[in-house]
Amino acid sequence: MIVTIGFIALSTIIASEPVQTAEPEPFVQKLEWSLADFKMLPVPAGKTVVDGKEVEIKAMWMSETEVLWNLYDVFAYRLDLTPAERAKGVDAESRPSKPYIPPDLGWGHNDFPAIHIHSHAAAEFCKWLSEKTGRKYRLPTVAEWEYVAKAGGGDQPEGSIDDYAWHWDNADDQTQEVKKKKPNAWGFYDMYGNAAEWAKPAEGEMIIKGGHYMSEPEECSASWKGEYEWEWQDSDPQIPKSQWWMADGSFIGIRIVCEGPLE
């Protein structure tokens, strides 16, 4: 039986490992008004189990790496606007406020994951990117994130987790440049460790997934999750706390999903 799902025809999936009859292509998203671009990899349809429940996953694309500073800077600092538009405050309410400290903490920038990102800011970033590109970008669900992280395998990739993740034992207390570790079986880098990534559960508030540079090696897994804690914004002097920057969230980044490239 063949089922048409969105933009590609795929075989009905029975096992947890996906089976597909056509091979979608990766694509590089270029931004006409910026030098920033990023690569999106195809994810085949399939099924996964989250919290004991089977969840169907539709075919989609996911970013090869975490969102990097060279892209997030365009959104956060309104680099896509003219000086006159910035002076007038165009999009001011839907863009991040000025951070109190350099959010990269001097660790590295262009090839490093954007960090300190609040879940609200992450959602607004996806809306902005969708409007700018004409493609539907969003944050992954927990089921989608875990499905891609496992890549047809188990909770952690085969072999030593040191080969795939920056964590407490090897990261030197900071995030690291992406793509310096091995990708998982589907070609995605830094799913485990480095910066944890926002994902939406079936119910409740956003959580972070995958572990991060301060996680123990065993926490760098598909099933690991972190729920919001006030300590992530403890040093933020604002009341209420910022919806744009997590003042103490140096371990929090994002990875994005695209529901289908336009022809």
Q: Is 263 domain-assigned?
A: no
Render pLDDT for 123-159 as a digit per residue (tens, 0 to 9): 999 999 999 999 999 999 999 999 999 999 999 999 9
- β-strands 207-209, 60-63: how paired? unpaired
Q: Mean of the pLDDT values across residues 56-83?
A: 94
- The pLDDT value given to residue 20: 46
Closest CA to 101 of 253, 243, 248, 252: 248
Structural domain that includes position 83: 2-258
Q: Mean of the pLDDT values across residues 69-89?
A: 88
Mean of the per-residue pLDDT values of the chain: 89
In this structure, the number of other CB atoms found within 10 A of the CB of residue 13 comes to 17
- The pLDDT value given to residue 1: 39
Q: Mean of the pLDDT values across residues 155-177?
A: 97
Percentages (nearest 5) of helix, strand, coil residues in the chain:
20, 20, 60
Does pLDDT of 93 surpass 90? no
Q: What's the Cα-to-Cα distance from 234 to each of 7, 71, 230, 238, 249, rounded to whole Å?
A: 44, 27, 6, 10, 10
8 Å CB contact between 254 and 122:
yes
Render pLDDT for 238-263 as a digit per residue (tens, 0 to 9): 889 999 999 999 999 999 999 977 55
Q: Mean of the pLDDT values across residues 11-17?
A: 36
- The pLDDT value given to residue 22: 55
Closest CA to 166 of 105, 215, 223: 215
Is-cis flag, bond preceding 240, omega within 30? yes
- The pLDDT value given to residue 72: 97
Give the count of domains, the chain: 1
pTM over 0.85: yes
Render pLDDT for 106-124 as a digit per residue (tens, 0 to 9): 999 989 999 999 999 999 9
8 Å CB contact between 47 and 57:
yes
Does pLDDT of 214 surpass 60? yes
- Distance CA(116)–CA(79), nearest Å, equals 19
- The pLDDT value given to residue 87: 78
Closest CA to 244 of 257, 234, 233: 233
- The pLDDT value given to residue 2: 36
Closest CA to 198 of 138, 263, 261: 138
CATH, residue 9: 3.90.1580.10
Q: Is 228 domain-assigned?
A: yes
In this predicted structure, which of 5-14, 56-65, 246-255 has the lowest mean pLDDT? 5-14
- The pLDDT value given to residue 23: 66
Angle at CA of residue 75, ends 77 and 198, nearest 5°: 120
CA torsion angle for 207, 213, 214, 216 (degrees, to 10)?
90
8 Å CB contact between 189 and 178:
yes
- The pLDDT value given to residue 85: 83
Q: Mean of the pLDDT values across residues 220-226?
A: 97
Q: Is 207 domain-assigned?
A: yes
Does pLDDT of 14 surpass 60? no
Helix (H) or strand (E) holding 56: strand 53-57
Strand extents, DSSP E, 153-248? 196-199, 207-209, 225-227
Residues near 137 by Cβ (< 8 Å), separated by ≥ 6? Answer: 126, 129, 130, 256, 257, 258
Identify the band that residue 89 occupies on the pLDDT scale cut at 50, 70 and 90.
confident
- The pLDDT value given to residue 6: 38
Identify the band that residue 90 occupies on the pLDDT scale cut at 50, 70 and 90.
confident
Q: Collapsing DSSP states into helix, strand and coil, what is residue 132?
A: helix
Token pair of 75 as six digits: 């959104």
- The pLDDT value given to residue 109: 94
Q: Collapsing DSSP states into helix, strand and coil, what is residue 263?
A: coil
